[in-house]
Structure 1
Amino acid sequence: MSFFKKIFSSEKKETLDKGLEKSKTSFFTKFNKAVAGKTKVDDDVLDNLEEILVTSDVGVNTTLKVITRIEDRVAKDKYLGTSELNKILREEIAGLLSETNSGEETQFSIPTLANNAADGTKTPYVLMVVGVNGVGKTTTIGKLAYQFKKKGLKVVLGAADTFRAAAIDQLQVWADRVDVPMIRQDMGSDPASVAFDALKSGVKLEADVIIIDTAGRLHNKVNLMNELSKVKRVMQKVVGDAPHDVLLVLDGSTGQNAFEQAKQFTAATEVTSLAVTKLDGTAKGGVVIGISDQFKIPVKYIGVGEGIEDLQVFNKYEFVDSFFK
């Protein structure tokens, strides 16, 4: 397989390598113990590898898929040495991730929308961002706004997380930092009203992209579903097919809890893409592999540092190369 013949941009790759350092070190400490004294990939090695992948937060179902693929390789090749196991593992996980479209094609660009309004005004690309409080949702929105603006796109933010005053203020800090307009109302206002105003303003300003923040409460899934559905309906009064993307932000450092959040939100609303944050501060980077595989929703972005440039477009080949090299 030629998965890893691609030449990666050095600066971005160095940031990714550094961001995944804890995950890689944790994995290979266990991996090296598992194959110590072994020359052949046998049942004991595979059993140990299965345990390592599960404890690295890859998830049980995804781990079983990986182990099955390696078992097939062992059966086909008759004899595989432990020295080849890392290479095989990289190839099989990259192959697994290839079955779910990832975000490397986006490059922080926005698709051209064909359905311009009848009056000739530009149709903005509407991105609705969801996720529980504390996962890095506001920071992700700010970094996205920065990246889009850097590409020459005109960005408008909408502060529709009106449940917490801090959420509005935090988003305002990012709007000021990136120097993009933000539409806001008072705490406790109707989130759908804020979204409506943001889209109306975005259309008037001829924005290329409008990013709508939403509340991150999971205490009642029905209420969450109703609120997000209402926000969507109201936005569609301004831009008929909005939102064009519903991005779920997950905290990679929470490991299996990120799986649970993904289950909750995908049950409450249609999620079309994922961002996994805080991978630099954790040894749980394997969660990206499991979430991408289990939910069949493309991981578009990963957070590998606190810097404004450290939200990266997820590239499955770069990720696997950094994790397993």
Structure 2
Amino acid sequence: MEVLIVTTVVVLLVCAAIAGLVVPALKRQAPPRKPEVPPPGTIATPAPPDTVEAPEPTSQAPPVAAPEQPAEAPVEEPIEAPELEVPEPTAGRLTRLRARLARSQSGLGKGLLTLLSRDTLDEETWEEIEETLLGADLGVGPTQELVERLRTEVRVKGSRTPEEVRNLLRTELINLIGADTDRSLHAVRQPDERPSVTLVVGVNGTGKTTTTGKLARVLVADGRSVLLGAADTFRAAAADQLQTWGERVGARTVRGPEGGDPASVAFDAVKQAAGDDVDAVLIDTAGRLHTKTGLMDELGKVKRVIEKQSPVHEVLLVLDATTGQNGLMQARVFAEVVDVTGIVLSKLDGTAKGGIVVAVQRELGVPVKLVGLGEGPDDLAPFDPAAFVDALLAD
């Protein structure tokens, strides 16, 4: 009985083991089931798809950068135009500068008054008077003329008080300089509506470009519109210097390339001034030695080119007053080339002698129209013979 029970248990265990091996194998080899066909007249409902789990990412994706916002354009602040300067009125400028002019004459007037006030005017005294006038750069001819007039007046009047001597000398000096001479600047718009044209000439070192800039201030102070022509193309800083002068009073500057043709610049300046209804155009030319024929010919060319479209109304020769009689040869050569119409005496506030005014007028037969009496922007003054003589005779 026990043997039978044991045998039965062993058989059951073997059967269970066989069943555990066979059933999974059969499941793996079983063919797929055919889909069930629904009965006619029914709507098949699709089986829900098997849920497929997405694989976990092996690495973290880089973050997506937010699109950059366009940078705001910088707001440009408006550039303020430089504040224009208001030049000092020209009327009375020479009177204002009287003390400065008197200091520059080294006591010329005082010396003459002392000599003429002597009780006895003998030949020795007259020789001293003559030497004083020659030392003031008056020139030989004007000196002899003035001494002769003084001799005549002294003989006629006889007695001489200090006041009478002063009045006598003042009158004769004003007559010698030329009280009735036309010294006006022809720098106004012409009847045909074209601008006036002024050519500024001179040798190197006379202060020509500075004088041109100051002359622009003189004209602006008198209510005229001005255009500048930088025809000094040979000196690197000349055009910049002239433009700076113009900008201070609202005057435009026409310029060309460095080393360019000065006649072309002058022509363009006059043409633009005519188109812009400008009253006056000032042409600054290159400084040149009066002994250099080629340079002087170039200056003549500038004038001829301008005259193709407009007359040249003024040719102002700038002379350094401190050169005295040496400047007269320069003046003579320039006058032959460009028909000088007026003289500008610069640096008259230094060691210059007042007699050069008379000498240069006699040499050229043209008047002194402007004098420079300092480094200030408004120290260029229209020449006034009476104010000039009063400064010479100042105590």
Q: Which TM-score band applies after superposition, normalised by the shorter structure?
A: 0.7 to 0.9
Aligned partner of 1:281 in structure 2 is: 350
Aligned partner of 1:113 in structure 2 is: 190
- Which of 140, 163, 166 is the equivalent residue of 2:234? 163
Aligned partner of 2:391 in structure 1 is: 322
* Identical positions, percent: 42
TM-score w.r.t. length of structure 1: 0.85
* Greater mean deviation of Cα atoms: 153-162 or 263-272: 263-272
The 2-side partners of 1:223 and 1:18 are apart by 42
* Gapped regions of structure 1 (runs ≥ 5): 1-8, 117-121
Could you give the per-residue CA deviations for residues 79-122 of structure 1, whole angstroms, max 9, x where no partner exists? 3547343332221111122277242x45xx734522x2xxxxx3
Partner SS, residue 285 of structure 1: coil
Could you give the per-residue CA deviations for residues 149-206 of structure 1, whole angstroms, max 9, x where no partner exists? 2222221111111121122222122122222111111221111111111111111111
The 2-side partners of 1:24 and 1:284 are apart by 6
Aligned length: 304
The 2-side partners of 1:148 and 1:314 are apart by 14
Determine which structure has the larger helix proportion and give its number: 1
Cα separation, partners in 2 of 1:10 and 1:312, compared to 1, 3 Å: closer
Could you give the per-residue CA deviations for residues 257-315 of structure 1, whole angstroms, max 9, x where no partner exists? 22232122113321001111111122422211222233221111111122222111111
Q: Does 1:235 align with 2:312?
A: no
Partner SS, residue 240 of structure 2: helix
- Which of 162, 172, 188 is the equivalent residue of 1:92? 172
What amino acid maps onto 1:172 in structure 2?
Answer: Q
What amino acid maps onto 2:187 in structure 1?
Answer: I
Aligned partner of 2:181 in structure 1 is: 101
Q: Does 1:18 align with 2:99?
A: yes
- Which of 339, 358, 361 is the equivalent residue of 1:270? 339
Q: Is the 8 Å Cα contact of residues 187 and 313 (structure 2) preserved in structure 1?
A: no
RMSD (CA atoms):
2.4
Shift of 1:143: 1.1
Q: Does 1:216 align with 2:287?
A: yes
Structure 1 outlier segments of 4+, above 6 Å: none
Aligned partner of 2:276 in structure 1 is: 205
Q: Does 1:180 align with 2:257?
A: no
The 1-side partners of 2:161 and 2:269 are apart by 56
The 1-side partners of 2:132 and 2:290 are apart by 33
What amino acid maps onto 1:317 in structure 2?
Answer: A
Comparing both chains, which one has the higher relative contact order based on Cα–Cα distances under 8 Å and sequence gaps of 6 or more? Answer: 1
Cα separation, partners in 2 of 1:41 and 1:67, compared to 1, 3 Å: same
The 1-side partners of 2:208 and 2:190 are apart by 26
Aligned partner of 2:199 in structure 1 is: 128
